[in-house]
Each structure stands twice: as C-alpha cells, then as structure tokens.
C-alpha cells in the first residue's frame, strides 16, 4: 500500500502540492494525471524521498519515507523522467551494481537480465557506457534496474516519453504483468490515451490539488457516461 496523508510542498513560498491525500492498493496500475506544472513530479520526488515533505506524511507498505527511510526505499523501484546518473558505467555494470545493492542472487539476476534486456531490446548496448545512450535507452536501462530486483512498488515518472512504439508496448505489458502479480504500479503521465488504455485507477491533480481519485469506470460515470477522458480532464483542470 502506498499512502499520502495531507501532503504539502512549497517552493520559496509557492505551494506546489497542497494537502494531497492518496491511497494506492496492490494489484493496480495507478495513473497520476495532470497538466504541466500540476505537481506530479514534486509528488513523486516526495514519495521517493528525494524531496522532503513540508507537511503531512507518506508511507510505503507501512514504512514512513522520512522516519524509516531505508526500509521505505527497499519497497520500491523508481524510474525518473530523465536519468543522468552513473553515466561512466557500462549498462551491464550499472545493472550489476543495482543487483548488488538489492542482494539479488547471481542466478536470478542473470535470468532476469536475459529476459528483460531482450524484451526491451537492450542486449547489445549493455557493453556500452551509459553516456553514449539516447534518452530512451537510458530510460530502459533504469527500468531494467527496477525489473532486476522486482520491488513491490513501481514508481515511474512519465515512463513512456521518448520510448519507441515497440519498447513502449513492451513496457505497457510489463506494467500489466507486475500489477497482475499483486504489485503497485504508480505512474505519472499527461498522455490521456495511455492512461485510458492502461490504468485501473486514476488520480487527477491540478495546481497542486487533487481533483479526482477513483476507478476509471467511476470517473466516467461520475462525469456522464460516454464522454471521453480528454473532455473530463479539461473540465477537471479548468483548461476547457
Ligand atoms: N525546484 C523548484 N523550484 C521552484 N518551483 C518549482 C521547482 N520544481 C517545480 N516547481 C514548480 O512547482 C509546480 C509543480 O511542478 P512539477 O514539476 O511538480 O509539475 P509536473 O506536474 O511534474 O509538471 P510536468 O508535467 O511539466 O513535468 C510548478 O509550478 C513548478 O514551476
């Protein structure tokens, strides 16, 4: 379970996230949706412990991200929207490093590496250094780093941006596979089509405040059956 209680974040006096309450249960793909500047990345950075929470609290499988940071961080894998860490390492070295950090046994890591590198078409690139990778390839190697330790919770910030259609499709299938295996897949997006296709549950944030949280089907019902997600989104975020 991933829970946010009354979470607030300010940057130099400006409120980026305001009193946010979220509850994400296992076995679901959860889409965190909002326009540019809505507060999605700020929220994800607080969930992952990159940014401190100004008010409220966040727990992952019952572990508080601030009071019990190490245990909370063991629960999730994180794919940021851009990745420029460990650029001097080769792809394979980066993945070995992550597998070491999470104590993944040798045989298990080899098996996962073989399966997921091939699925994401990264095999050949693993012997190259990360600084030679394109944006999409970096996204994929970070994703592989998550898949190699199979956390209970996946947190992905705009994960499909920059992926070619084949890789995007592979990622969508992996997200579904993880959710069906009882894990939480929490991802942010402003691509409505993706959210509509993929999510079991959705939260919409705008100007730092939650506008809606619920099942995809509830959302359609609440805002008149038959309307498409785009018109609901525009209405909820006052952009219409
Ligand atoms: N480091 C920062 N310092 C000051 N303000 C910031 C900082 N980071 C974000 N903001 C502001 O906080 C608000 C929320 O930004 P955030 O990046 O969380 O939005 P987002 O929903 O992820 O947007 P996008 O879809 O464009 O990535 C915006 O008004 C943004 O300008």
Q: Which residues, 6+ apart, have CB-to-CB distance to 8 below 8 Å?
A: 15, 17, 18, 19, 20, 53, 54, 55, 56
Q: What is the 3-state secondary structure (H, E, C) of 57-108?
A: EEEECCEECCCCHHHHHHCEEEECCCCCCCCCCEHHHHHHHHHHHCCCCHHH
Checking DSSP bridges between strand 55-60 and strand 2-11, what pairing results, if any?
A: antiparallel
Nearest alpha carbon, ligand 1 atom 29: 37
Mutate which of 4, 7, 11, 35 for ligand 1? The one with the most ligand atoms within 8 Å of its CB, which is 11
Structure tokens at 98: 């992550």
Report the complex ipTM: 0.96
Range of the domain at 185: 2-238
- pLDDT for the residue numbered 222: 64
Contact assessment for residue 160 and residue 191, using Cβ atoms and an 8 Å cutoff: yes
Using a 6 Å cutoff on CB, does residue 16 contact ligand 1? yes
| Chain length of the chain | 240
Selection from 189, 181, 196 nearest residue 228 by Cα: 196
Give the position, in ligand 1's atom list, of the atom nearest the Cα of 44.
18
- Whether 34 lines ligand 1, by a CB cut-off of 6 Å, is yes
Render 103-171 in DSSP notation, one character per residue.
T--HHHHHHHHHHHHHHTT-TGGGGSBGGGS-HHHHHHHHHHHHHTT--SEEEEESTTTT--HHHHHHH
Per-residue pLDDT for the chain (240 aa), expressed as one digit of tens each? 999 999 999 999 899 999 999 999 999 999 999 888 899 999 999 999 999 999 999 999 999 999 999 999 999 999 998 877 888 899 999 999 999 999 999 999 999 999 999 999 998 899 999 999 998 899 999 999 999 999 999 999 988 888 888 889 999 999 999 999 999 999 998 877 778 888 999 999 999 999 889 988 777 676 555 556 666 677 777 654
Query: What is the position in ligand 1's atom list of the atom closest to the CA of 157?
Result: 22
Which residues share a beta bridge with 63? 60
CB 203 within 8 A of CB 33: yes
> Residue 65 Cα, ligand 1 centroid: separation in angstroms?
21
Q: Is the CB of 9 under 6 A from ligand 1?
A: no
Q: Report the nearest-CA residue for atom 27 of ligand 1.
A: 36
* Domains of the chain: total: 1
Query: How many Cβ atoms from other residues are within 10 Å of residue 145's Cβ?
Result: 23
Distance 188 CA to ligand 1 centre (A): 13
CA distance 81 to 36: 13
**Per-residue pLDDT, 240:** 47
Answer yes or no: are the C-beta atoms of 200 and 216 closer than 8 Å. yes
Q: Which residue has the tokens 């996230």?
A: 17
For residue 15, list its beta bridge partners: 10
Coil, strand, or helix at residue 4? strand
Per-residue confidence (pLDDT) for residue 87, from 0 to 100: 86
CATH number, position 131: 3.40.50.300
pTM of the model: 0.90
């Amino acid at each position: 379970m991933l829970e946010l209680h009354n979470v607030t974040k300010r940057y130099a006096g400006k409120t980026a996230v305001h009193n946010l309450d979220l509850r994400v249960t296992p076995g679901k793909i959860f889409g965190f949706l909002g326009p540019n500047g809505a507060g999605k990345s700020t929220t994800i950075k607080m969930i992952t412990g990159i940014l401190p929470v100004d008010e409220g609290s966040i727990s992952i499988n019952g572990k508080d991200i601030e009071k019990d940071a190490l245990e909370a961080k063991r629960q999730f894998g994180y794919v940021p929207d851009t990745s420029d860490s460990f650029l001097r390492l080769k792809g394979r070295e980066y993945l070995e490093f992550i597998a070491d950090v999470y104590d993944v046994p040798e045989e298990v890591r080899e098996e996962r590496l073989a399966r997921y590198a091939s699925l994401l078409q990264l095999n050949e690139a693993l012997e190259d250094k990360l600084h030679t990778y394109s944006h999409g390839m970096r996204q994929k190697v970070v994703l592989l780093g998550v898949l190699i330790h199979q956390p209970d919770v996946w947190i992905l910030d705009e994960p499909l941006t920059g992926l070619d259609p084949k890789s995007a499709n592979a990622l969508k299938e992996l997200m579904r596979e993880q959710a069906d295996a009882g894990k939480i897949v929490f991802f942010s997006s402003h691509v409505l089509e993706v959210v509509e296709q993929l999510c079991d549950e959705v939260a919409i944030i705008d100007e730092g405040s939650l506008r809606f949280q619920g099942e995809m089907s509830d959302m359609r019902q609440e805002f008149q059956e038959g309307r498409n997600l785009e018109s609901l989104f525009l209405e909820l975020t006052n952009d219409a």
